[in-house]
Amino acid sequence: MPYTFSSRRIHWSLKKTVIYFLSALLLSGSMNLALAQQQAQPDPAGLATGDKTAVTDAAGNPLVVPEPTDKTAPDYAQNKKAYDAYQAQSAKEPIALRLADSVGHMRIATNFSWTLLTGYLVLFMQAGFALLTCGLVRKKNAGHLMMLNFAAYVFAFLAYYVCGFAFQYGGTAINAAPTNLGGTPTLNHFLLGSGLWGFLGGKGFFLSGPAYDSGSLCLVLFEVVFMETAGYIIVGAICERITFWAFLLCELFIGGILYPSFGCWVWGGGWLSQLGITRHLAHGYVDFAGSTVVHGVGGFCAMALAVILGPRLGKYGADGKPRAFPAHNLVYVVTGTFILLFGWMGFNPGSTLGATDLRISVIAVNTNLAAVAGAAAAMTLWYFLFGKPDVTMACNGMLAGLVAITAPCAFVSPNSAVVIGILAGVLVDMGVLFNERILKVDDPCGAISVHGYCGWFGAVCVGIFADGTYGAGWNGVGVTSYLGKTGMGVTGLLHGDSTQFLLQLGGATFMAIYVFGFTYAVFKAVNMIRPMRVSKEVELQGLDVPEFGMVAYPEDSLTTLSMGPE
């Protein structure tokens, strides 16, 4: 029969209602986690971010025990017993729950501080890129290089603010932040695709609505400096011949579309990251800190643009052989390289998004070892080939080691890091020679080889060297059992998982094809409508004055005048 109200129902005991209400408040921390995720709201002030649900022990086991809902699960009885015990203990110690709220808030605050500070280190890498690229080019284009590096940050950031962050992380959660920053990942809304097959996020445009959240904006700061790194990379490959307007269009493309799309697939809950669940392919595609998401994207985008622009005037003689354009300031090159090494201490360790993840020490050591191994290998090989140790190639070798270790840094041992660095140092030398002599692609700073080839290689190294000691639960795989071992982390070919290797090889190769193809198609069309390259006269004169109205070294002009006729 239809439901009807009765006086008995209306006039329930007030005493029972109050008791029930207070009990619900005391036991609120044990609410079903799925329900909590559905009800989560943006927290711009950070007052509600971080509570008892964020408290874990050193092994990552949570304080709050969720109520089991699947009665058919084989461990339902065990989980129900643990839940009931937690409920009973919570009722006895309500003050302990309030203290746990404070501990949880402090844990998230610590992770906020770590993530923001490491993000500032990555931001400082912009100075390193500016000095490195400026030092490697000819003097007449030094001001042009500085302007490109400066403008890259400005315009790519604006594109990421408008739509980039939404495309990348707008499908991961109500507030988009990962759990280390107090978020609740749910894969709840994609603009393109859905669930485990998402292709493009759909919320948080203009950093408003659900993106206006303290955890989300902490992630924004960290992610935008990663995106900017991809934007800086193209500078080194297309400089000395691209118009300023075309360069700005490239930066808007990277910040608004190219980087966020691939970033969504790997870090934003998209389809590549979920292949471990949807297709049972190991842990899904893994890139810890961005060998492909950042460096590969920047490197292969740069390659496509360099192909469209063509080589600089005079780069190739009538015989087709390349001519060297010496770096104009080696002090800038070396200083910029060390600044980049310093900033990388934020890039890789910071990608834990939390100081409470003590793997940061392993990551930091691995990063430095790969850097010095790469520099040593590149310097030695160049000396063997040409009889002189080239400092510019030694610097590129250090950067190559850093790029290659960026994806596997959390999953490998120090010995593996050294091997990865050595291989990357060799790869960058051979890549520069391959581009210059075989492909005839003019890359003034070696950016394609450093970031593109070594970025691809770094992702593959995850599938070769990962030793299974870290990453249990990565992309939702391996929390309980993987490869027959409880809590098995990301594991590569040398430690028994050929599937992860094949997935990494395929994913990294797909990245190269996607980024190069997409960039080439877009900017080939742009170049047909309006040439992206400066005129021959401007290129011969140098781009400083024609493009920006000033030179980087005005004293040269004064010296020339003072030496003229009286």
Of the listed ranges 91-100, 168-177, 484-493, the one predicted with least confidence: 484-493
Question: Which has the higher per-residue pLDDT, 327 or 63?
Answer: 327
End-to-end CA distance of the chain: 112
What is the average per-residue pLDDT within 260-280? 96
Euclidean distance between CA atoms 173 and 49, whole angstroms: 14
Most confident option among 35-39, 185-189, 299-303, 483-487:
299-303
Mean local confidence (pLDDT), 389-393:
96
What SS3 state is found at 53?
helix
341-358, pLDDT tens digit by residue?
Answer: 999 999 999 999 999 999
**Residue 235's pLDDT is what?**
97
Looking at residue 271, its pLDDT comes to 97
Write the burial class of residue 504 (CB in 10 Å: 0-12 exposed, 13-18 middle, 19+ buried). buried
| Residues 249, 128: Cα–Cα separation, whole Å | 23
pLDDT band at 8 (very low <50, low <70, confident <90, very high): very low
SS3 annotation, 19-54: HHHHHHHHCHHHCCHHHHHHHCCCCCCCCCCCCHHH
Tell which residue, 418, 406, 294, 404, has the closest CA to residue 348: 406
Residue 32 pLDDT more than 90? no
Residue 172 confidence (pLDDT)? 86
pLDDT in tens, 285-320: 999 999 999 999 999 999 999 999 999 999 999 999
Element (H, E) at 149: helix 142-159
The β-bridge partners of 491 are 467
The whole-angstrom separation of Cα 429 and Cα 486 is 42
By C-alpha distance, which of 388, 384, 379, 291 is closest to 337? 379
Check residue 480 and give its pLDDT.
46
Does pLDDT of 97 surpass 70?
yes
User: What distances in angstroms separate CA 155 from CA 249, 305, 422, one per listed residue?
Assistant: 9, 18, 36
Under the banding of pLDDT at 50, 70 and 90, the label for residue 479 is low
Do the Cβ atoms of 53 and 32 come closer than 8 Å?
no
Q: How confident is residue 483, by pLDDT bands cut at 50, 70 and 90?
A: low
The most confident of the ranges 16-20, 56-60, 171-175, 334-338 is 334-338
CATH architecture of the domain formed by 105-548: Orthogonal Bundle (1.10)
Q: Which of 206, 205, 257, 250 is nearest to 231 (CA)?
A: 250
How far apart (Å, rounded) are the C-alpha atoms in residues 15 and 21? Answer: 10
Is 223 in contact with 201 (CB distance < 8 Å)? Answer: no
Share of the chain above pLDDT 90, in %: 74
| Encoded amino acid at 4, one letter | T
Note the pLDDT of residue 486: 52
* Of the candidates 181, 201, 188, the residue with the CA atom closest to the CA atom of residue 37: 188
CATH 1.10.3430.10 in the chain: give the residue spans.
Answer: 105-548
Q: Answer with the residue of higher pLDDT: 481 or 254.
A: 254
- Residue range 27-38: mean pLDDT, rounded: 38
Distance, in Å, from the CA atom of 325 to the CA atom of 322, rounded to the nearest integer, reads 10
Q: Using an 8 Å Cβ cutoff, are 518 and 258 in contact?
A: yes
322, β-bridge pairs: 316
Phi, psi of 533 (to 5 degrees): -95, 145
- 105-122 pLDDT, tens digit each: 999 999 999 999 999 999
At 50, is the secondary structure helix, strand, or coil?
Answer: coil
Distance CA 184, CA 201 (A): 16
Q: Per mean pLDDT, which range of 257-271, 358-372, 386-400, 542-556 is the poorest? A: 542-556
pLDDT at 21 over 80: no
Give the pLDDT score at 484.
Answer: 52
Taking alpha carbons only, the member of 267, 238, 272, 231 closest to residue 252 is 231
User: What is the model's pLDDT at position 7?
Assistant: 40
Instruction: Give yes or no for residue 563 having a pLDDT over 80.
Output: no
Q: For residue 540, which amino acid is it?
A: L
Percent of the chain exceeding pLDDT 70 equals 89
The model's pLDDT over 213-244, given as tens digits with 9 standing for 90+, comes to: 999 999 999 999 999 999 999 999 999 999 99
